[in-house]
Structure 1
Amino acid sequence: MQRPPWLQQPTVVDAVAGLIALTALAGVIWSPKLTNAVARATGSIEPVQISVDVRNLSVADPEGFLQSIRDDGRLSFVIRNQPAGSVRVLNATNISPKVVSVMPDGSVIQADNPNVSSPLYARFDLEADAEKVGSGVVIAGTKLKIGVPIELEGTLYRVNGVVSGVGQS
């Protein structure tokens, strides 16, 4: 009795085609987007607030720069040289150090630095979707903790900063 042609010995071409199919299936199963979608569906991903401080930034119009960031509303960010998607901008504020002076009567006053060429110190308050784990939060497969270097990128800028706070929304 003769077997049908599809039940005969597999050839090298059949083995290569099967290997390609298995590789494609593994890529779909372990894809970050699918993993992220499953995590979102199960409720393990939730919004997290992140504060990023940027120091010594040379900007011609600091207030205009910060206002344009607030108006954009979203920016891309990179954690430890790994792209981590985009986040929502909640606020961008000027945290440049003040000039402190002690008056003769003992009172202390603070004023903005009159030096026009002084660099901008800014704090970005961001909101991102993160997975909460026992040791902190994970965004795009990277643990995010205070002190981690971050790169922020918008339409007209790319700046380096440091995470100064991680909290729950």
Structure 2
Amino acid sequence: MAAEPQATRRSWSLVDVGAAAAVLMALAGVVWSPKLSGAVAEATGAMQPVTVMVDVRGASVADPQALIRSIRDDGEVSIVIRNQPHGTVKLQELVPLQRRLVAVQPDGRVVTALDPNQAVFSSLDARFVLEGKGRKTSGGVVFGNQNLKIGAPVELEGRDFRIGGTVSGLKLGAS
């Protein structure tokens, strides 16, 4: 009689366990990838137009009016949210802001006047109205795979500039 072969039991080596863990981590990375979730949101119709208002205050600029003209001519800016580049967004509008001085008079009246220093010390004070795509979540508006809220610091970058600003308004849906 011939002896029956015994079933060999395979044991897992440390290399096998490491390879399996690497494959599982790669799969998890693909499934939870921000770009993939953005693509899925785009495909399912969860992405909506988002209007983001960014206020820039006191940015030192030699010729603010020339910079404003240049930005308007380009019609788009790159946006960086929490040091993560989002990409290029359309510039809907660029509104120069005028600083005002406030003084309380001895009789209790409050008087305001345009700040004359703004013309002497050239600086950029403007509101950038930007248009992009985002989605509504329980934590707010996701714009550029980053949760964006009013008060969040962002950087705007163009051909000739890179300036910091603060989100001053968000509007989700048709603008």
Q: TM-score when scaled to structure 2?
A: 0.74
Share of identical aligned residues, percent? 48
Q: 1:12 to 1:76 in 2, by over 3 A?
A: same
Shift of 1:135: 5.4
- The more displaced of 57-66 and 81-90 is 81-90
Name the CA distance, whole Å, in 2 between partners of 1:57 and 1:74: 19
Q: 1:21 to 1:111 in 2, by over 3 A?
A: closer
Question: Which of these two proteins has the greater Rg computed from alpha carbons?
Answer: 2
Partner of 2:146: 142
Alpha carbon RMSD of aligned pairs, Å? Answer: 2.9
Shift of 1:2: 5.5
8 Å contact from structure 1 (residues 96, 121) kept in 2? yes
Q: How is 1:57-96 mapped onto 2 (pairs within 5 angstroms)?
A: 57-96=59-98
Shift of 1:29: 0.8
Letter in 2 for 1:137: V
Shift of 1:92: 1.7
Whether 2:29 is the aligned partner of 1:27: answer yes
Shift of 1:132: 1.3
1:162 to 160, 166, 169: 166
Partner deviation per Cα, 1:69-127 (whole Å, 9 max, x = no partner):
1222332223344443332212222122379xxxxxxxxxx989583434221111101
Q: How is 1:112-131 mapped onto 2 (pairs within 5 angstroms)?
A: 113=116, 115-131=119-135
8 Å contact from structure 2 (residues 98, 114) kept in 1? no
Name the CA distance, whole Å, in 1 between partners of 2:135 and 2:72: 25
Partner of 2:136: 132
8 Å contact from structure 1 (residues 96, 120) kept in 2? no
2:157 to 136, 153, 157: 153
Name the CA distance, whole Å, in 2 between partners of 1:111 and 1:118: 14
1:43 to 42, 45, 53: 45
SS at match of 1:115: helix
Q: Please list every run of 5 or more consecutive structure 1 residues that lacks an aligned counterpart in the other structure.
A: 100-109
Whether 2:16 is the aligned partner of 1:14: answer yes
